[in-house]
Amino acid sequence: MFMRKLMPALLACLLLTSPPLMADQAASVEVEDPWLRAGPTVQRNLAGYLTLHNRSDEPVAVVGFETDLAASSELHTMSIGEDGMMSMQRILAIEIPPQGSHALAPGGDHLMLVNLKNPLEPGAEYEITLTFSDGSRKTLLFEARRP
Ligand SMILES: [Cu+2]
């Protein structure tokens, strides 16, 4: 009887005195203004944007995302080539420095939804799950906008 009462108390003590568990990357990141660029016509591919704030003292990396909206999903960046033309390249990760921020915005890094299954409705919100390099995940609602 005594042990039965004592065990939970002992366990609670152990939990309280052990060092805090490291927060996973998804929990360390705050996001701002997630949105999808819905064009005036039906598009096959479209871009998603948001700003990521890393509230931890460790670097954080987004390594991909999952969505039911498109057949596949890629991380992209944009750069100006020698011909002066803007082009997109696939990247494997988007890194956010400790206590830093990274904006995914038109003309720069973005989430690329490839082979969209259905047109998006401006004003509607759609679920996208970001995946981080430690395997943690964060599901967000992205608003479809027609810029
Ligand atoms: Cu792209």
User: Could you tell me the distance, in angstroms and rounded to a whole number, from the CA of residue 23 to the centre of ligand 1?
Assistant: 31
For domain 23-145, the CATH architecture is: Sandwich (2.60)
Please report which residue ranges of the chain form alpha helices under DSSP H.
Answer: 2-17, 25-28
User: Could you tell me the distance, in angstroms and rounded to a whole number, from the CA of residue 111 to the centre of ligand 1?
Assistant: 7
CA–CA distance, 1 with 63 (Å, rounded to integer): 51
Neighbours of ion ligand 1 (CB under 5 A): 76, 88, 112
User: Could you tell me the distance, in angstroms and rounded to a whole number, from the CA of residue 9 to the centre of ligand 1?
Assistant: 54
pTM of the model: 0.82
Q: What is the pLDDT of residues 49-74, one digit of tens each?
A: 999 999 999 999 999 999 999 999 99
Q: Note whether 132 and 63 are within 8 A (CB).
A: yes
Q: What ranges do the domains of the chain cover?
A: 23-145
User: Could you tell me the distance, in angstroms and rounded to a whole number, from the CA of residue 74 to the centre of ligand 1?
Assistant: 8
Mean pLDDT of the chain: 89
- C-alpha closest to that of 48 among 143, 132, 119: 143
